[in-house]
């Protein structure tokens, strides 16, 4: 199993550009989520999905869109990049919505917005 994979590893954008961060998992996990990590802020939840076709907002959803058309994939879209979105983005998955499950993280995407 590859676990949780993310592409790209690094990305530089100009303000106003859009892009999609890709996330895939091969563990047949129902629950997937996106976090951003900023110094001193820990991991903040952007969006999450409890299963294919179902998504919901996390703590910091503004400026981001998600969709979940398959169990495996959970892409994160930046609609119009802003410097405040410079961060490290982690995708994570766990077996199900129930909280008593270990969460697996992808390797992260390091995004810089100029």
Instruction: State which residue, 16 or 97, has the beta carbon closest to other proteins.
Output: 97
Give dist(CA 93, CA 35) in Å, integer.
11
C-alpha of 51 from chain center:
15
Is residue 36 within 8 Å of 60, Cβ to Cβ? yes
CB of 86 to other proteins, least distance (A): 17
Instruction: Name which of 31 and 64 has its Cβ closer to other proteins.
Output: 31
Closest CB to other proteins among 1 and 102? 102
Give the binding site for other proteins (CB under 8 A).
31, 33, 35, 40-45, 48, 50, 58-59, 90, 92, 94, 97-100, 102-108
| In contact, 93 and 25? CB cutoff 8 Å | yes
């Amino acid at each position: 199993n590859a676990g949780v994979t993310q592409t790209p590893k690094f990305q530089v954008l100009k303000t106003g550009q859009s892009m999609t961060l890709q996330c895939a998992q091969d563990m047949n996990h129902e629950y997937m989520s996106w976090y951003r990590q900023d110094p001193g802020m820990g991991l903040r939840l952007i969006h999450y999905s409890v299963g294919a076709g179902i998504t919901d907002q996390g703590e910091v959803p503004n400026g981001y869109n998600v969709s979940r058309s398959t169990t495996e994939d959970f892409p994160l879209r930046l609609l119009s990049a802003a410097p405040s979105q410079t961060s490290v983005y982690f995708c994570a998955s766990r077996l199900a919505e129930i909280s008593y499950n270990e969460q697996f993280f992808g390797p992260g995407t390091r995004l810089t917005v100029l």
